[in-house]
Every structure is written in C-alpha cells, then in structure tokens.
Homo-oligomer: A and B are copies of this chain.
C-alpha cells in the first residue's frame, strides 16, 4: 500500500503518522513509564514538550536514565546548519536541550556546521555561512544555556581538535554506507561526502553516553554512528525525537525557510506575526460564526491550537480550557488565533532582548567558559 507521508532528513511530506514512523524507523515510543522515571530522576515537573509528547520517540533514553541514576552521567549534543534566518521550529531542540541541561545538570555541545551548509549549497559562500553562524549562535545563546557547561563550536574553527577522531570515524564509513542516508550520489562533491564523519565526532566528546534531542527526521544520520561507535570504544548515541511543529499553512509537511508563509521567523515583528497567523494559520474552525457556534472547531487539525499545545501554552489547565472552548464552539477561530499571536509576540520580544544580550556572551560559549576552555585544550582521538 502506498504510504501517504515521507520523512527523510531532507524532506518531510504529507501528514505524518508518528506511530507508524516509530515502527518504520525502529525507534522506541516515549512511554508514560519512562516519563514517570524521568520525573522521579529530576524530582520536578516534566517539560511541556515531554508531557505532551512533542518528544514522542527515543533510542536508549532508558539507558540514559540508568546511567544518570547510577551516577555515570551523560551529555547532550545538538547542532545547527546555519541559515540566513531561524524560524520558531528551529528552536524546539534547543529549548528542550536547555531544559534537559538545567534539570540533569549536564554538559551541552552545539555544533555549528558552517562547512556543511557551504558544501550543500551551490550558491552559498563560506563567508556567508560563517556570518549566519554568528547570527544563529545569538539565537541559540538566547535560549538560556549554562555558559560554563555549554560549548558552541563552528566546524571550520574547531576542526583541528576534531580531525584525528573524524578520520578514524571516516575510515569506518564507506561511500556506499553514507550515500543513501545523506542523500548523496557519485556526482556529490567530496567535501559533503566526508561531512558525516564530522557530524559524528561530538557524540564521542566524552566517554559517556550522548543524548541527542532532534527532529525524528534526523534519526537516520545517527544510525551510522550507532553502527560504528562501539568499535571505536565509545557509546551508541541515544536520541530523543520530536514531532514537527506543523507549518502555518496546514498539518502536512514541516516549516520551510524558503516559504515564508509557512513559518514565523525569530525576526518577524509583531505586525508581521499577527498578519501571518490571521492570514495563513490553517484553521479547524467552521466556515461561519453561526456554524462554528453550532458545531464547534476541530483543534486536532487547527495549527494555532497545535502551536499553543506543543509550545506556547505550557499551562495544562489553560490549554484544556482552550481546547474545550474551541471544540464546543464557545471560542472562535479569531479568538484562538489572537491567543497565539499574543503568546508568540511575547515570546519573540523576550527572545530578542535575550538575543541582544547574547552578543556579549558569544566568546564565553565559544572560547572562555569553563567547558569551552577545557575543550580547546583537547584533541579528540
């Protein structure tokens, strides 16, 4: 039977059936038992994205909890291929990673792949991707990571420390093994063919288990790591996978930087946010106010509701009330959208303030913080 959705690292199409994806990818479901264990481990409430199954799938998260409980600890790794601008969906792994860091008190490594972005795109110069790296780093720092437990590094700058380990990894991966996973073919350039090795290096920054929070579409990349890690004396990378924040335009696919109407950018001003939500946000409401009052809206397909549920309304009571009111017809689409507009604009305003302050912190995260200083002294082998 033909499948009505596709999820690969470079394409998300159709309405994703996340339960099916767990089976297809061979990952584990994030069960309530596991969530309870996590809650006990941190002795605190879980993050809204975990409570509400935005992070819905994992590999070896149970082993991460074992290691944590035994006092062996673990570390977090995430990253970003720098782009001209970041949208709200790009923040999900960072926000969640920051929360994990705070609750588990662990190190975070953030790889900025200025090389990959350059190598992947015919039109980009290395100067551009380096400039975008700086800009994206400001957005990442604004999320609130611990400056002494977080190391942000750009491949072109940190390469010397990573290169010896990267060639050991590269020696274990043939072109045949990476071609399908990374969407390469024999007409691909030799830089992007090598790149997978550099993406794997940070999973081996410590001789502990590494946990990678990322979109489920990134999972195939890490399967390569899991194939070779133990032969190099390191752990298979654990992962915790998120769903996609649906694009404004509807529940299918994911937000795209090249289609501005699908996404809210971190630089969108309040008027733009309002206009985009009001105009584009796919509605689960009825065609007229009368019909809506009579039949109610459908929050399950309503993008404004989904954004509130997944991200912007962490209060469980309030989101339940919104859901009930919308479903019953007591709340109109315009009212629902207005709640999201206000939440989004409050979030973005605060983000922009933190982003301004982040300018003074770039060198701390890259070079001068406790973890950064240690990392620059190390050659990974």
List of B residues within 8 angstroms of A193 by Cβ: 175, 190, 193-194
Q: Does A190 lie within 8 Å of B186, measured CB to CB?
A: no
- Does residue A134 face the partner (Cβ distance < 8 Å to B)? no
Residue of B nearest to A170 (CB): B191
- Is A173 part of the binding interface, using a Cβ–Cβ cutoff of 8 Å? yes
Contact, CB under 8 Å: A167 / B381? no
Q: Which residues from B are CB-within-8-Å of A171?
A: 118-119, 189, 191
Select from chain B the residue with minimum beta-carbon distance to A175. B186
Q: Would you call B189 and A172 a contact (CB within 8 A)?
A: yes
In the complex, how many angstroms separate the beta carbon of A114 from the nearest chain B beta carbon?
A: 9
Interface residues on A, range: 35 or more
Q: Smallest CB–CB gap between A226 and chain B, Å?
A: 17
Contacts of A362 in B (CB 8 A): none
> Is the contact region of chain A dominated by helix, strand, or loop, or is it mixed?
helix
Tell me the chain A residues, 148-187 only, with Cβ under 8 Å from chain B.
Answer: 155-157, 159-160, 163-164, 166-168, 170-176, 178-179, 184-187
In the complex, are the beta carbons of A186 and B174 less than 8 A apart? yes
Q: Is the beta-carbon distance between A163 and B196 smaller than 8 angstroms?
A: no
Bound form: Cα–Cα A168–B115 in Å: 9
A126 near B381 with CB under 8 A, answer yes
Partner of A167, one of B126, B164, B173: B126
A332 at the interface (CB under 8 A from B): no
- Which of A166, A190, A381 lies at the interface centre, i.e. has the most chain B CB atoms within 10 A of its CB? A190
A108 at the interface (CB under 8 A from B): no
Instruction: Give complex CA distance A170, B191 in Å.
Output: 5
Q: What residues of B have a CB within 8 angstroms of the CB of A178 in the complex?
A: 190
Indicate whether A197 sits within 8 Å of B190 (C-beta atoms), given known contacts A126-B164, A167-B119, A170-B119.
yes
Contacts of A184 in B (CB 8 A): 175
Residue in B159, B179, B186, B188 whose beta carbon sits within 8 Å of that of A159 in the complex:
B159
The 3 A-B pairs at the shortest CB distance, nearest first, are namely A170-B191, A194-B194, A160-B160
Q: What are 13 residue pairs bridging A and B, where the CB atoms are less than 8 Å apart in the complex?
A: A118-B167, A155-B163, A166-B191, A171-B189, A171-B191, A174-B186, A174-B187, A174-B190, A175-B184, A175-B187, A176-B187, A190-B194, A191-B194
Q: Other than the known A170-B190, A190-B193, A193-B194, what 11 A-B pairs have Cβ atoms closer than 8 Å?
A: A157-B160, A167-B191, A170-B191, A173-B189, A174-B189, A175-B175, A175-B188, A175-B189, A190-B196, A191-B197, A193-B193
